[in-house]
Amino acid sequence: MITARAFLSRAEAAEYVQSHGLPLARGTLQKYATTGEGPRYHKFGQRCVYRREDLDAWMATKLGRPVTSSSNADAYDERDQHTQNAPERGSGPRDRAEVTNSDR
């Protein structure tokens, strides 16, 4: 009986993601390892190896939420961007007390 290997090389990890219908090049996976955007990996000497469960978890985080209409997706994205880019309350110029020389 042949069992699946516990660890995958970087090239095998990219193929594994591609086998799930998601585009990912080995070079992109290498870049992600440098920038911290990719899946968890382990070092084996100088090589990076990946576990399937870490790849599955990472793919799940990269997928957007399911939508039924592109107009719903756009509205959702705009709300997300507005919320993420909104300044904190109390951070505007009117909310800060300006100290002038006459106040000292």
Distance of alpha carbon 40 from alpha carbon 53, whole angstroms: 10
Nearest-5° angle of CA 55, CA 75, CA 21?
Answer: 25
The tens digit of pLDDT for each residue in 43-89 reads: 999 999 999 999 999 999 998 888 888 776 665 555 555 545 555 55
Distance of alpha carbon 49 from alpha carbon 34, whole angstroms: 14
Domain extent listing, the chain: 7-62
Q: Which of 51, 56, 47 is nearest to 19 (CA)?
A: 56
pTM over 0.85: no
Residue 2 has pLDDT above 90, yes or no: no
The tens digit of pLDDT for each residue in 4-57 reads: 679 999 999 999 999 999 999 999 999 999 999 999 999 999 999 999 999 999
